[in-house]
């Protein structure tokens, strides 16, 4: 068996030769996500460090709640039990203050059971700062192309940062492959990648993520299925890193649209569905 857990200083902890710990204080340097497992029925236990955690928890809607949420570690496995996938929800530190986990991304790390080794990159699977919480399915399906399909349901943050317990809660399903190797070749060829918008389909707000390995100017254009231009937005100069842009589709008629991000003569196009 495997357990995917947090390891951090706690109340009353007395390290060897040290002093008793006080109330819990978040220390990113020693807040770790750990895979604890046994191969002999529990006689001995081993562990692997999966990731440091730089943002830990956040209390949504302190006025009417609060609704506290943390990293929610999950384990998924392939049907043959040869691969495991560790998922958690953590915010990109470029979008938050301190250690607050108020814009969580769905993150995942693969693990080869037979080889006892982390396999593949630690990947942002989706939500891009838009999950108040999420539940990842226990099983991942083999796509027969070197990737595995993971499945998650989540409740989004309303209007990118606000959340009220008094409002109706929407639930979304998101399926994503791990590892997502598509972006590697794109980065080599054009220095940026564009994520699929979430949620999709949508009839209100949806978000896209642009990952750039060099500072550059970007534009975003949206056309309908006939090729008619609906909107063109100058995103300006974006620095190195990940940037999230919100598309307001409330005025779009139901149908299929295509959005294109362009920079330095390179284009990346994705399909957007409006209900």
197-211 confidence digits (pLDDT tens) = 777 788 888 888 787
Closest CA to 216 of 257, 268, 175, 171: 268
The residues spanned by each domain of the chain are 1-180, 191-275
Q: What is the reported pLDDT for 57?
A: 83
Residue 214 to residue 216: CA distance in whole angstroms: 6
- The tens digit of pLDDT for each residue in 159-208 reads 545 677 787 777 888 888 887 543 334 444 567 878 777 777 888 888 88
Two structure tokens written together for 164? 């009220």
CA neighbours within 13 Å on the CB side: how many for 119?
Answer: 16
Model confidence, pTM: 0.63
Beta carbons within 8 Å of 98's beta carbon, 6+ residues apart? none
- The tens digit of pLDDT for each residue in 41-91 reads 889 998 888 888 888 888 888 888 888 888 899 999 999 988 999 999 988
From first CA to last CA, the distance across the chain in angstroms is: 43
Q: CA gyration radius for the chain?
A: 21
Closest CA to 225 of 180, 164, 177, 269: 269
Architecture of domain 191-275: Sandwich (2.60)
Q: What is the reported pLDDT for 31?
A: 79
Two structure tokens written together for 152? 């998650």
């Amino acid at each position: 068996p495997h357990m995917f857990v947090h390891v951090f200083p706690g109340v009353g902890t007395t390290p060897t030769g040290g002093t008793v710990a006080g109330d819990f204080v978040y220390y990113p340097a020693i807040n770790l996500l750990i895979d604890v497992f046994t191969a002999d029925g529990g006689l001995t236990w081993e562990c692997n460090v999966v990731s440091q955690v730089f943002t830990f928890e956040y209390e949504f809607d302190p006025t009417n709640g609060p609704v506290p949420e943390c990293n929610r570690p999950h384990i998924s496995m392939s049907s043959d039990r040869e691969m495991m996938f560790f998922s958690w929800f953590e915010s990109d530190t470029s979008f938050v203050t301190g250690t607050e986990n108020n814009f969580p991304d769905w993150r995942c790390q693969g693990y080869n059971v037979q080889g006892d080794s982390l396999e593949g990159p630690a990947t942002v699977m989706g939500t891009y700062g838009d999950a108040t919480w999420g539940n990842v399915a226990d099983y991942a399906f083999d796509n027969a192309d070197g990737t595995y399909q993971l499945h998650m349901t989540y409740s989004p943050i309303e209007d990118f940062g606000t959340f009220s317990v008094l409002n109706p809660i929407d639930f979304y399903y998101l399926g994503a492959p791990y590892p997502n190797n598509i972006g590697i070749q794109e980065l080599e060829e054009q220095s940026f990648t564009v994520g699929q918008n979430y949620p999709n389909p949508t009839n209100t707000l949806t978000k896209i993520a642009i990952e750039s390995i060099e500072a550059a100017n970007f534009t975003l254009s949206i056309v309908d299925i006939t090729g008619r231009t609906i909107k063109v937005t100058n995103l300006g100069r974006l620095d190195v890193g990940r940037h999230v842009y919100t598309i307001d589709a409330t005025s779009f008629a139901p149908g299929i649209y295509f959005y294109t991000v362009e920079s330095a003569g390179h284009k990346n196009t994705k399909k957007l569905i409006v209900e």
